[in-house]
Structure 1
Amino acid sequence: MLQKLSRPAVKLVERYLPDPYIFVLLLTLVAALAAMLFEQQSPLAVMRYWGDGFWGLLAFSMQMLLVLVTGFMLASSPPVKRLLDALAGLARSPGSAIVLVTLVSLAASWINWGFGLVIGALFAKALARRIRVDYRLLIASAYSGFVVWHGGLAGSIPLTIATPGHFSEAQIGIIPTSQTIFSLYNLLIVGILFVVMPLINRWMLPEERESVYVEPSQLAEPDSAAPTGPPRPADRLENSTLLSWLVGIPGLVYLIHYFVFAGGGLNLNSVNFLFLSLAIVLHRTPRSLLTSLQEAIKGGAGIVIQFPFYAGIMGIMMQSGLAQSLSEMFVAIASADTLPFWSFISAGVVNLFVPSGGGQWAVQAPVMLPAAQALGADVARVAMGVAWGDAWTNLLQPFWALPVLAIAGLNAKDIMGFCLIQLVVTGVIIGLGLTFF
């Protein structure tokens, strides 16, 4: 049944979903028009909100670019390639490849979302070099694990409200992760997704005549070939293992101190530092690392050009009051029992325009928290409703798929048909879990 349902979804998306750059331009226009029509904002005010916010994600954009580049360099190092290939050897059929990549992506994303995005895509490529399987579904399965990130160890909303000094502390106090990430209902949602998602992806596997394959030779990683011509004094430095280790090993020592003794946690900066330090050590020579870098950077164009536009959209949504109005619309029909569910739905809608967990919480918390207190709803569960809504519609929003697509060499339309089915199934599971578990 899912195979039959996914077939028209895939064809529909392949035909009508534009390139992610076109998608962000259309979202910009939709957000601007909505702000003028529903929030009575003048065109000049909307342009000012857009322009003021346009460069608001520069630091984050660089972090995301580094997630892609450092993760690619790490995975293309000889030891990691051998490890991924050995793990890929566990798959004996197209179906088992789909199940395996989904499980690896789910586990990695639950630990850290940046780690999950990169590892899932690179492991999918390792599988595609061994198993003849529909490449579109394989990459969609690798991306589908990302849906659990906000219910995992690096979830920005539950970690924010568990941190002393957060902006809502005077209103709700400190909510420990035992009531959010490690609560029974959240762990049940995550556990069910770990069981259901591999099965859903497996059942969507197209028939042989409808599958799209990729030649393993097209997925081969570049070799760091020695330059031709007479040797130069600089060649000795470019092929120096000692030089790499004198920089890479201290980086790893710093991270051990950071995690073990300084009590540091996983975040984008620490993940990027870890990926980079490991890549420097495992590539052994600067030349090998730079060859991998040249290949990795090719996929970063989408991040560089599109993230500023999303920052502009966030500026419109937040400063015009549009995001707040969307949240209030759902709150108006909620009760104490259903508020977590409507928080989830409203966050899913807002996430299409504000694809940032931290930014979305800043917009929705001033609406959701007073409503939760007025209705007597569980504040922690309402916060997790917003967190899950933010993660849920990432299956439809190509913003977060850009690193995965860049590594895989695909376009958004290639995987979003499968992601549409995943969106429906996960929406039912999460919605029921927030309401009844």
Structure 2
Amino acid sequence: MSRQEKIASATPAPQEMHPGSGLASSAAPDSSALERLALRVTAWCERWYPDAYVFVGLTVVAVALGAMAIGASPGAVSVAFGSGFWSLLPFTMQMAMVAITGYVIASSPPMARLVERAAQLPRNGRSAVAYVAFISVVASLLHWAISLIFAGLLAKALARRTELRMDYRAAGAAAYLGIGATWAMGLSSSAAQLQANQASIPPALLQITGVIPFSETIFLWQSLAVTAVLLVVSTLIAYWTAPGASRAKTAAELGVAIEPAEYSTSVCRRPGEWLEHSPMLTIALVALGTGWVWHELSGKPLLVAISGLNTYNLIFLLVGMLLHWRPRSFLDAVARAVPATAGVLIQFPLYGAIASILTTAQGLDGASLSHHLSTLFVDISSGESYPLMMGIYSSVLGFFVPSGGGKWIIEAPYVMQAANDLHVHLGWAVQIYNAAEALPNLINPFWMLPLLGILGLKARDLVGFTFAQFLTHTPLVLLLLWALAGTLQYSPPVLP
């Protein structure tokens, strides 16, 4: 039995003392209609929403049936499945390393000390919730995993300040806002990273889009404007929806233990362990890695250098080594981080298979399913309405395929072909995807899992608050994507 399960059995949480979900049991009679709706949606998702792997498996079956419906033979579909299954191995490893390096850095002893100092700033519970939201959103622009872990640890540190009377559920939801609002607009955006790296782009997609650098995606002024608006709005909504002191549920009232994280203080007991506890190996490895990073940064334009996933991951890996200082501490952190990559490792091969079926299994007319889908997008859209149509489609699909990188592999071949046909700026099409793709994360518990482990809460405890963000963000994001598209001009892809 885990420590959290022991706590739960010894001290029943308030939400378990009454019928219904966590927030429902604690909601006051005068709770808002929005809160009650959020609770119903949360309860439904908890009861009926399966693991993300099930949705990916169903998507494979649906795409295979779609390919056969246009005339592709079962044998051709099977060949396409097998040919694409291992096509994303480098990208799969890169995405797993994004999660690992983010966790390693955010959970290091120096970062823990930084968290404790940062937690001294807020003066009341509602401002503390808004503070967590702001930190989460800003950190997500650098690294989504750092944002998730650091903001979660900050929420726990603030919860230890009992004089704040901070609602622990609202703080947990605020810690998740980086994933639900802005992560895909930042440096760790899976779609922007993939499109900026020729080696990562599937060959069929490369012929449609060419390579799209960061300067044409996340560093467009239009993209920066959307990000700034989301930063302000997310922080304000977090403040406005946080319960006041009289209605707040603290971590103690929820039966959650909030002790500071414990780090290994073991000492070397046998000769074979000496190097595990000595910083010498860390210093040597970091020196070698730093030399290579310097070579990359000095030999290329900055935006080109940082757009490489290998360089990006190596920088954060080296920083993680330094922050942990001793190899034993670093290796323990990696071991704690690896379980969070399970979904990436098992699902991304299926995404590669889906992309292969979409683009290579040809129907009776010699065209692929991807071609038919892109034609449909062109038929129902115009250059002016395409941003809105793609935004709605990407956000809906994201609820069923909650991986930004994996879903881009599935979606990009036909939506980017449609962007070409309708003369929509290709970099902005990537950003339409990025901004809309994050929206379903606010009501989809898949990426909450690492955070929930840190907080000791359940998804139902957070979704009531993130649902309010979802209802605010969705019309705002779609409006911005549509309005700003008119400020960009199309240019044909630069093919290799």
TM (norm. structure 1) is: 0.79
Count of residue pairs brought into register by the alignment: 431
2:478 to 424, 431, 434: 431
Deviation at 1:293, TM superposition (A): 3.5
Structure 1 Cα separation of the partners of residues 461 and 357 of structure 2 = 30
Structure 1 residue aligned with 2:327: 286
Describe the SS at the equivalent of 2:274: helix
Summarize the Cα distance change of 1:299–1:182 in structure 2 as closer, same or farther, 3 Å threshold: closer
**Pairwise mapping of residues 114-133 of structure 1 onto structure 2 (< 5 A)?**
114-130=145-161, 133=166
Higher deviation after alignment, 7-16 or 300-309: 300-309
Could you give the per-residue CA deviations for residues 171-228 of structure 1, whole angstroms, max 9, x where no partner exists? 8888776665444443332221111111122233246657473677555323213269
Aligned to 2:317: 276
Describe the SS at the equivalent of 1:335: coil
Q: CA deviation at 1:432?
A: 1.0
- Does the 8 A contact of 1:341 with 1:435 survive in 2? yes
The match for 2:436 among 389, 397, 402 is: 389
Cα RMSD (Å) of the superposition? 4.1
- 1:297-356: CA deviations, max 9, x gaps? 454444444544555555555566666655544442323322221122223334444742
Residues 350, 14 of structure 1: CA spacing in aligned structure 2 closer, same or farther, 3 A cutoff? closer
Q: Aligned partners of 1:11, 1:197: CA distance in 2, in Å? A: 22
CA distance in 2, matches of 1:11, 1:164: 45
Q: Which residue of 2 aligns with 1:365?
A: 416
Residue matched to 1:9: 38
Q: Which runs of 5+ in 1 are unaligned?
A: none
Q: Is the 8 A contact 1:151 1:190 kept in 2?
A: yes
Residues 81 and 353 of structure 2 are in contact (CA less than 8 Å); yes or no, is this contact kept in structure 1? yes
The alignment's TM-score, normalised by the length of structure 2, stands at 0.71
Aligned residue for 1:388, secondary structure, equals helix
* 1: CA distance, partners of 2:471 / 2:135: 22
Q: Which residue of structure 2 lines up, in the alignment, with residue 196 of structure 1?
A: 233
- The 1:435–1:11 alpha-carbon spacing in structure 2 relative to 1, beyond 3 Å, is same
Is residue 39–residue 322 contact of structure 1 (8 Å, CA) maintained in 2? Answer: no
Q: 1:326 to 1:362 in 2, by over 3 A?
A: closer
8 A Cα contact 1:3 1:204, kept in partner: no
Equivalents in 2 of 1:304, 1:170: separation in Å?
27
CA contact (8 A) 2:420 2:426 kept: yes
Worse-matched range after superposition: 424-433 or 205-214? 205-214
Moved more, 336-345 or 146-155: 146-155
CA contact (8 A) 1:32 1:46 kept: no
Aligned partner of 1:142: which letter?
A
1:68 pairs with 84, 90, 99, which one? 99
Q: 1:385 to 1:65 in 2, by over 3 A?
A: closer
- The answer to whether residue 170 in structure 2 is matched with residue 141 in structure 1 is no
User: Counterparts of 1:2 and 1:259 in 2: how far apart (Å)?
Assistant: 54
Which residue of the partner structure matches residue 117 of structure 2? 86
Instruction: Quickly say closer, same or farther: Cα 1:244–1:180, change in 2 above 3 A.
Output: closer
- Quote how far apart the aligned CAs of 1:94 are: 2.7
**CA–CA distance in 1 between the matches of 2:329 and 2:212?**
47
1:429 Cα deviation from its structure 2 partner = 1.2
Which stretch shows the higher mean deviation, 55-64 or 233-242?
55-64
Kept after mapping to 1: 8 A contact 2:159/2:250: no
**Paired position in structure 2 for 1:421:** 468
Contact 1:56 1:308 in 2 (8 A): yes
- Check conservation: 1:19, 1:413, Cα contact below 8 A: no
In the TM superposition, residue 260 of structure 1 has moved relative to its aligned partner by 4.2
Determine which of 371, 383, 394 is the counterpart of 1:336. 383
1:99-149 deviation line (CA, Å, top 9, x unaligned) = 222222222222344554444444444444446544443333233223323
Answering whether residue 258 of structure 2 is matched by residue 225 of structure 1, we say no
Unaligned 5+ runs, structure 2: 1-29, 362-367, 485-496
- For residues 390 and 325 of structure 2, the distance between their equivalents in structure 1, rounded to whole angstroms, comes to 49
Q: Please point out which of 106, 130, 138 is paired with 2:137.
A: 106
Structure 1 residue 426: deviation in Å? 1.7
Percent identity (aligned): 32
The change in CA–CA distance for 1:136 and 1:60 in structure 2 (over 3 A counts) is farther
Shift of 1:366: 1.5
Residue among 220, 235, 242 paired with 1:205: 242
Q: Output the amino acid matched with 1:13.
A: T
Distance in 2 separating the partners of 1:57 and 1:218? 39
- Report if aligned partners of 1:88, 1:126 keep a CA contact under 8 Å in 2: yes
Q: Tell me, in whole angstroms, the C-alpha distance in 1 between the residues paired with 2:241 and 2:52.
A: 26
Instruction: Report if aligned partners of 2:226, 2:480 keep a CA contact under 8 Å in 1.
Output: yes
Measure, in 2, the Cα distance between the counterparts of 1:281 and 1:96: 33
Contact 1:324/1:364 (8 A) holds in 2:
no
What displacement does 1:386 show?
3.3
- CA deviations 1:3-52 (Å, max 9, x no partner) are 64134313432443369863431452255246536861677766665555
- The alpha carbon displacement at 1:431 in A equals 1.2
Task: State the shift of 1:433 in Å.
Answer: 1.1
